Amino acid sequence: MKILVVGAGGREHALAWKFLQSAKVTDVFVAPGNGGIAADSRLNQIDIDVMDFDALSQLVLDQAIDLTVVGPEGPLVAGIQAHFSAKGLACLAPSAEAAQLEGSKSFTKEFMQRHRIPTAAFQAFTEINEAEAYARSLGLPVVIKADGLAAGKGVVVAQTIEEADAAINDMLAGNVYGEAGSKVVVEAFLPGEEASFIVLADGDQYLVFATSQDHKAIFDGDQGPNTGGMGAYSPAPIVTKAVSQRVCDEIIEPTLKGLLAEQIHYTGFLYAGLMINDEGAPSVVEFNCRFGDPETQPIMMRLQSDLAEVCLAAVEHRLDQQSLVFSDEAALAVVVASQGYPGDYATGAVISGLDAALHSQIFHAGTKLEEDDLKVNGGRVLALVACAPTVAKAQAIVYQDLERVQFEGQYYRRDIGYRAVAREGI
Ligand code: AMP
Ligand code: GLY
């Protein structure tokens, strides 16, 4: 079986790495991939943009690729699924309609309200005055979100009314997020601890992946602006068996049923970003129509089942015959970024130490291969991931290995996994 992975990040590198382990898979293509994928002789890196559906489907036809798996939200929201399906090509991806669960926060909030799926109180606005008045009525802290896609960065948790007003003005008048900010969602702050809950769905059936937790903020202690994610680990201890059951009963099933009731057949990965309160009650902070990045990296390290087999089963609507098995070990990923990210950052620095005898797995993101050099080519550059019996041990392995991997302007958080490590210490 030949597989195409669409995307360029650490998530796609980890998916491609996992596909290579399948006895059924003979070839793995990644478009456009990154430097780490280009440097790996077992993977075929192809220079095609994720939004160039014609070129991607032509590649699939030319190479007789059996299954395409899409990583990032951009092509999903833009309708890659319909493009492939019109050509009779198997593509594991939700339709553009289904991908609105990520592409439009107001669509998702209204959908959750219709189907009584637990989430924070909210309203959507295009008028500044109305948004400010509603923010005041909710009390502090209050959360202001740009409606469209903003790469995980269009959210402000305002601690003061001034901050809330400024965020509303930036988004609606200041055009800070462009089209994505032409509408804002103002919502109540949910207290608790976050976790990522990812399933693979084929309409009405689904398989649950191992839980995970990511660190979105740029600085230690979860401080500073949000990023795409600076590190993640799996499992998330906050999601006990009982909590997991509640998530399935109160969130995943009503979501898939609600979509079907609205004639939307959801096939693909569905990621629920959750807030779990003190009583173990889960609420949805956001949905993503894809796998998480960097959550994919530790989850794939723990996955023992054949990923190609389950992805094909999802496309063929036979997930009832499948299961997912995960190692009992914990896995932890630390993302190495280029200084300045999530703002402006430098590119071009040569990365050294990747050939050292590391105990971690390396998944590349913003890298490119030039001659024999791997160079920085993005904000999140790569991630190191280790598995161990405890999160603390996995964390120790990754941080030790990170002493060897170096480039100019390198930045990473020093505390990835701190909540889980503190729990293990009890
Ligand atoms: P989102 O892009 O909607 O996932 O939001 C980004 C981050 O903002 C989340 O991961 C949370 O840390 C925080 N956040 C968003 N909405 C809320 C909320 N209603 N209550 C508390 N924190 C929130
Ligand atoms: N790590 C968060 C995300 O993938 O959206």
pLDDT digits (tens, 9 = 90+) for 78-101: 999 999 999 999 999 999 999 999
- Beta carbons of 297 and 320 less than 8 angstroms apart: no
CA 144 to centroid of ligand 1, rounded, Å: 9
- The answer, yes or no, to whether any atom of ligand 2 lies below 6 A from the CB of 32, is no
- The answer, yes or no, to whether any atom of ligand 1 lies below 6 A from the CB of 187, is yes
CA 168 to centroid of ligand 1, rounded, Å: 16
pLDDT in tens, the chain (426 residues): 999 999 999 999 999 999 999 999 999 999 999 999 999 999 999 999 999 999 999 999 999 999 999 999 999 999 999 999 999 999 999 999 999 999 888 899 999 999 999 999 999 999 999 999 999 999 999 999 887 665 555 789 999 999 999 999 988 887 666 665 578 989 999 999 999 999 999 999 999 999 999 999 999 999 998 899 999 999 999 999 999 999 999 999 999 999 999 999 999 999 999 999 999 999 999 999 999 999 999 999 999 999 999 999 999 999 999 999 999 999 999 999 999 999 999 999 999 999 887 899 999 999 999 999 999 999 999 999 999 999 999 999 999 999 999 999 999 999 999 999 999 886
Q: Cα separation of 299 and 149, whole Å?
A: 24
- The answer, yes or no, to whether any atom of ligand 2 lies below 6 A from the CB of 12, is no
Which ligand sits closest to the CA of 158?
1
Return the structure tokens found at 200.
């693979």
Return the structure tokens found at 131.
């948004």
Return the structure tokens found at 418.
């701190």
- The answer, yes or no, to whether any atom of ligand 1 lies below 6 A from the CB of 73, is no
Strand 267-276 and strand 282-288: pairing?
Answer: antiparallel
Which ligand sits closest to the CA of 157?
1
Write out the DSSP string of 324-351.
--B-SSEEEEEEEEETTTTS-----PBP
SS3 label, residue 77: helix
CA 312 to centroid of ligand 2, rounded, Å: 24
Atom of ligand 1 nearest to the CA of 122: 19
Query: pTM for this one?
Result: 0.94
- The answer, yes or no, to whether any atom of ligand 1 lies below 6 A from the CB of 395, is no
User: Measuring CA to CA, which residue among 333, 339, 334 is closest to residue 379?
Assistant: 339
- The answer, yes or no, to whether any atom of ligand 1 lies below 6 A from the CB of 143, is yes
- The answer, yes or no, to whether any atom of ligand 2 lies below 6 A from the CB of 292, is yes
Q: Which of 286, 289, 293, 295, when mutated, tests ligand 1's pocket best, judged by the most ligand atoms within 8 Å of its CB?
A: 286
Atom of ligand 2 nearest to the CA of 152: 5
Nearest CA to ligand 1 atom 4: 286
User: Measuring CA to CA, which residue among 224, 314, 328, 220 is closest to residue 268?
Assistant: 314
Which ligand sits closest to the CA of 225?
1
Q: Cα separation of 257 and 323, whole Å?
A: 21
